[in-house]
Structure 1
Amino acid sequence: MSGCGVLNPFACGTLPLAQFVSDGLRWLVDNYRPIFQVVKAPFDTVLQSLASFMTSAPPLLVIIIIVLVAWQLASWRLAVVVGAILFFIGFIGVWTETMITLSIVLTALIFAVAIGIPFGILATRSEWLYAVLRPLLDGMQTIPAFVYLVPIVMLFGIGNVPGVIVTVIFAVSPVIRLTYLGIVQVPEEVIEAMRAFGANERQLLLKAQLPLALPTIMAGVNQTLMMSLSMVVISSMIAVGGLGQMVLRGIGRLDVGLATTGGLGIVALAIVLDRLTQALARRRRRPGEVWEHGPVAAVNRLFAQFKASSVQASVASETPHHLGSGGKGAT
Structure 2
Amino acid sequence: MLLLVLIAAGAAAAWWLQAPLPQRAGAAVGGAPLELEIEPGTTPRGVARAAVQAGLDVRPDLLYWWFRLSGKDRDIRAGNYEIPRGTSPQALLQKLVRGEEALRAVTLVEGWNWRQVRQALARAEQLRPDSAALSDAELMAALERPGVPPEGRFFPDTYTYAKGSSDLNVLRRALHAMDRRLEAAWAQRAPDTPLKSAEQALILASIVEKETGRAEDRAQVAGVFANRLRIGMLLQTDPTVIYGLGERFDGNLRRRDLTTDTPFNTYTRTGLPPTPIAMPGKASLLAAVQPADTRALYFVARGDGSSHFSTTLDEHNRAVNRYQRGQK
Higher helix share: 1
Higher strand share: 2
**TM-score, length of structure 1 as denominator length:** 0.21
Which one has more relative contact order, counting CA pairs under 8 Å at least 6 apart?
A: 1
